[in-house]
Structure 1
Amino acid sequence: MNRLIRSELLKIRTTHTWWIFALATVAGTAAALALNFLQAHLFLNATDDIASGSSPDQAQSIAAQSQVVTQAANIFTSGQFLGCLFAALIGILLITNEYYHQTATATFLTTPHRTTVVVGKLVTAVMYSAVFWLVSTAIAIPAGLIFFQAEGLPSHLGDWDVIRAVLLNLMAFAIWAVFGVGFGALIRSQIGATITVSVVYVVGFSAADLIFTLLHQWLQQDWIRTAQVIVPSTASQVMLAPVKLFPQSPPQWVGALVLIGYGLIAGLIGTLILRKRDVS
């Protein structure tokens, strides 16, 4: 297994992929920090009048976002949105590269037990996702500390709510990497899998939020907004938020369970497909 993992790591390191994703992670984290700094400044310096005229749900959401610990968790996990996408893409490449470069047959002949090959790719994808998380976190934490010092506010970095958000962020990166391996096994085309996941991830989150919001306004049922956690990208955000992401948001552990469930399903599907698929 160790030899297989080293081989998978080498396949990525010998291409331009790793540093392209690393640079993209740096850029994505920097952009996220800029947006989160602006949002935090507005919420943390807002007057009580900001919620006047708002609905009870909106007022509750504004009150939650105005807490320093909420903004601290958000800032110290900056870069999660794009970082998790990059983690998924690296998982896709680990699978689809075998078909793109026509090395799948050689790989499975060298290691006849296909399950072992898939596990090696899953472990490798998780390892690279941890690197992306480390890069993003290494940028976000110092930048966040500087921001809170400039605002004259405590950073809450030592609070368990914030530490938990940072650690759960690592889990989110890892699970999305597993998603990528599952998608790569499901859609053999490298371009097809990459475009599909990118569109579903980026557009799907906004579309799902709009759909669930409209359904909630139409039917006036709180469970509809709560059910939004079934969307993987929403589950990631629910899992990280130290307070409720929105008034009907389920607890953090629900988001974590949903995300873990998707990861297990994706890993299982990827393993089953690659065990049965003809690679000749």
Structure 2
Amino acid sequence: MNLVKSELFKIRSTSTWWIFGLVTLVLWALALLANWASSSISAGVDPAEQGLNPDETEQLRVANAAVNVATNLYTSGQFFGVLMVMLLSAIVVTNEFFHLTATTTFLVTPRRERVVYAKLAASVMFGVGFWLASTLLNLLFVPFILKALDIGTQLGEPAIWRAIGLNALAYALWAILGVGAGVLIRSQLGATITLTMVYVVGSFGASLFFALLSPRLGDWFSKLQVLVPPLASQLMISGTELPGNPPRWVGAVVLIGYAAFAGVLGTWLIKRRDIT
């Protein structure tokens, strides 16, 4: 517990966490506005008049259902929120090498895996903190947006709270992924740039890749999108099961698998690598 407190103090004693917090706040506001605009546009679209095939028509109809519109709004900010959490978690590790404190840290605590566990725990706590802040803001502002869209708050729907809870899990898992990535990429600047590029470009690139090839290869290929971590975490927070997509639990299992791999690999590497 003392190690966890120490790691939390290391994070709080620098300006990094609140800078990431401010950036996350701005990105959350932009995401909420974008989701509002998207919901407003979709509300005026009749799926039957779009010239879509039956499967696509059903997907659009379900996506425009009140509970799914509300779920999308109540989880606004996840895409960039988990990115900020991952970057902050990576910096929890890379800071040790950037400030040349890694040797001291591991001399004080020779069992290196305990240090990694403490960093994982501290990162998850901050990740859940970021989730809590964005969720409280969503619960404050989204009811007004839903009223403007002529939709009830939908807070009586279990699907809303299930999505919010799974969103918390996503933030925690991305924090673990960040720690694992920080062990792999010791450079603070290198980790930040690499992870941002892989996350953002990889997400949009994967979406485009599957969109282009799925019509030729079939639904089975489209469902493989869940193997892309950002897309898996987005699937987790869908309100109801969406036609043509795997169940939400598949997204959770995929993300848990990546997080477990990152955590185990990170611990193994820290124990084997020389610390100078």
* TM bucket, shorter chain: over 0.9
* Structure 1 residues without counterparts, runs of 5 or longer: none
- Aligned residue among 214, 233, 238 for 2:212: 214
Contact 1:89 1:180 in 2 (8 A): yes
Q: Which residue of 2 aligns with 1:126?
A: 124
Count of equivalent residues: 276
* Structure 2 residues without counterparts, runs of 5 or longer: none
- Aligned residue among 81, 84, 91 for 1:83: 81
**Take 1:153 and 1:196, find their aligned partners in 2: how far apart are those partners?**
41
Q: CA deviation at 1:138?
A: 1.4
Q: Which residue of 1 aligns with 2:254?
A: 258
**Take 2:146 and 2:126, find their aligned partners in 1: how far apart are those partners?**
30
- 1:86-123, Cα deviation, whole Å (9 max, x unpaired): 11011100100000000000000011111100000000
- Aligned residue among 215, 219, 222 for 1:225: 222
**Take 2:46 and 2:222, find their aligned partners in 1: how far apart are those partners?**
28
- 1:219-255, Cα deviation, whole Å (9 max, x unpaired): 2x2110011100001101111112345x421000111
2:25 matches 1:26: yes
2:218 matches 1:241: no
Q: Which residue of 2 aligns with 1:140?
A: 138
Deviates more, 1:161-170 or 1:141-150: 141-150
2:266 matches 1:270: yes
- 1:111-159, Cα deviation, whole Å (9 max, x unpaired): 1111100000000000010111111111111111111122332121221
**Take 1:198 and 1:223, find their aligned partners in 2: how far apart are those partners?**
29
**Take 2:171 and 2:17, find their aligned partners in 1: how far apart are those partners?**
16
**Take 1:65 and 1:129, find their aligned partners in 2: how far apart are those partners?**
28
**Take 1:268 and 1:56, find their aligned partners in 2: how far apart are those partners?**
44
Q: CA deviation at 1:43?
A: 2.0
Q: TM-score, normalised by structure 1?
A: 0.95
Residue identity over aligned pairs, in percent, reads 44
Q: Which residue of 2 aligns with 1:72?
A: 70
* Letter of the 2:7 counterpart: E
Q: Which residue of 2 aligns with 1:186?
A: 184
Q: Which residue of 2 aligns with 1:202?
A: 200
RMSD of aligned alpha carbons: 1.3
Contact 2:47 2:60 in 1 (8 A): no
SS of 1:153's partner is coil
**Take 1:194 and 1:22, find their aligned partners in 2: how far apart are those partners?**
16
Q: Which residue of 1 aligns with 2:3?
A: 4
